[in-house]
Amino acid sequence: MAKEKVMVAMSGGVDSSVAALLLQEKGYEVVGATMKLLEDEKTKEMITDAKKVCQILKIEHYVFDLQKEFREIVIQDFIEKYQNGFTPNPCVVCNHFFKFGRFYQEAQNLGIKKIATGHYAKIKDGQLICSKEKNKDQSYFLYAIPKEVLPHVLFPLSDYTSKEEIRELARKANLNVESKKDSQEVCFVPNDDYATFLEKNINTLPDKGDICLKDGTVLGKHKGLFYYTIGQRKGLGISYQTPLYVIRIEKQENKIIVGPNEDLFEDTLIATDLNILVEQMPTTVLAKVRSRGEKAKAKLEFISDNSVRVKFQSKQRAITPGQSVVFYQDDICLGGAIIKEVGGK
């Protein structure tokens, strides 16, 4: 009987390498593949390391050159969102369109029905489940997996809670990646310097404008909207008798609105680009507005097939347009959406 084939997204890092190893040990016929999304030294190193791991495991390795699409879909969205006063999360967009979109299509083109990654989450009975280890759980970034793709996804690291366990497995298998550092920043933003990246990738720098209190009192000038995000306190260049934070970015008026910490708390938001992972979405859920945030009770009011109003039982701090709100029921990830507006009824 032929082994079931699975294509593993290989980044050259320890997580994806061990994912391939574990699937091979479970009896799958494993194929490795790397998406070439950028033309830089880090990408070259990633492809080289992935190829080496595949050679050690004696499996095939493919490289899919998707630079043009990545630039058009992920990087351009990132730039435009910042220009319009949003703070985007490009990893969510990439997961939807590339890691679980184009990658799955490429697997199908090769006659492979299953794909796998080194994410920390679990698929059980066709549902996306949080990782056992709260600090490792990546379901917040995975909610945008297309629902029809979810049954074809494997997360081999789902039962592991310690990175040292993963590194030890790589060490024992002589995969030569056990000491590689985890990648923390956005892959296409060098040194995690968003401002410099945006300056280099837009035609004209943003206009300066006023930094104001809610009552319209002008406290100073901002450098341009994309230099700021909700909750920011440092680098505002203003002085006041109490600490002030960015509480709102007004694109139309080209203003940054600041206020005390208590003004950062809101209980209502509207989100669009809704992705639902379950057959029946409840109207009472747990929700969180940042990956490391706590889940909080909320009620959902569906405005359309693509948008939802979320009303939290208790106010949440620094809800940020452009980021995601993700919905849960216990440890099941139900789906999520991109935050468009904050406040309102």
- The Cα-based distances of 246 to 16, 229, 343 in angstroms read 38, 7, 15
Angle of helix 14-25 relative to helix 163-172, nearest 10 degrees? 60
Q: How far is CA 24 from the centre of its chain?
A: 28
Q: Per the residue annotation, which of 91, 130, 187, 212 is the catalytic one?
A: 187
What 3-state class would DSSP assign to 337? strand
Strands 332-342 and 265-276: antiparallel
Can you read off the two tokens belonging to residue 53? 């791991």
Entry field: residues in the chain:
345
Closest C-alpha among 34, 37, 11, 9 to residue 23: 9
Secondary structure in 3-state letters for 236-272 = CCCCCCCCCEEEEEECCCCEEEEECHHHHEEEEEEEE
**In this structure, how many other beta carbons lie within 10 angstroms of the beta carbon of residue 107?**
23
Q: Per the residue annotation, which of 54, 91, 94, 333 is the catalytic one?
A: 94
Q: How far is CA 12 from the centre of its chain?
A: 19
* Inter-residue contact 16 to 8 (CB < 8 Å): yes
To the query of whether residue 94 is one of the catalytic residues in this protein, the response is yes
Count CA within 13 A, CB hemisphere, residue 333: 28
CA distance 326 to 334: 8
CA distance 320 to 342: 8
* Inter-residue contact 344 to 290 (CB < 8 Å): no
State the catalytic residues. Answer: 94, 187
